[in-house]
Structure formats: structure tokens, C-alpha cells
């Protein structure tokens, strides 16, 4: 399960979501500007207030760390259609 903690004004969040869509990765987008409980969870799990924060099966990644995300999701092994 992939969750993205984001805000509507975050350029990196938008880029990350487009990247996931390009690679057919299903994700849940959580807008922390509107959900205070989610914001508190994101800060507790990541130790920071900045977005994006990605949770991939319990592995928390801060920012758009492409190498780490690709490794966890095995994106380099996904065949393009």
C-alpha cells in the first residue's frame, strides 16, 4: 500500500503523483492541509513537517527520493506498456 502525504500547493507532491501515475502505481493521496490527524501522523512517522512524505508498506520516505522509491516499488523492473 502506497500513501502520499501532500498539500495542493506542493510542486514536488504533484511531480511525485504524476511519476506514480506514469508507472501505474496505485496510491492514496492524503491532503495534510485539510486533515490534522493525518498531519500529526505524518510528523510522528517522518519526524518532519515538510511534504511530500511517502509511506510504502510502512517504509517512510521524506521527499521525492526517486532511487529509494524505485527500489521499494521495483519500478525499474516494471515493463512499460
CB contact set of 78 (below 8 Å; sequence gap of 6+)? 23, 24
Contacts of 66 (CB under 8 A, 6+ apart): 19
For residue range 11-48, list pLDDT tens digits in order.
999 999 999 999 999 999 999 999 999 999 999 999 99
Q: What is the pTM of this model?
A: 0.88
Q: Which domains does the chain have, with CATH numbers?
A: 2-77 (3.40.30.10)
Amino acid at each position: 500500500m502506497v500513501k502520499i502525504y501532500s498539500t495542493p500547493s506542493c510542486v514536488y507532491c504533484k511531480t511525485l503523483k504524476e511519476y506514480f501515475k506514469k508507472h501505474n502505481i496505485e496510491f492514496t493521496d492524503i491532503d495534510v492541509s485539510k486533515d490534522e490527524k493525518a498531519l500529526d501522523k505524518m510528523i510522528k512517522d517522518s519526524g518532519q513537517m515538510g511534504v511530500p512524505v511517502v509511506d510504502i508498506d510502512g517504509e517512510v520516505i521524506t521527499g521525492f527520493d526517486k532511487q529509494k522509491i524505485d527500489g521499494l516499488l521495483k519500478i525499474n523492473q516494471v515493463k512499460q506498456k
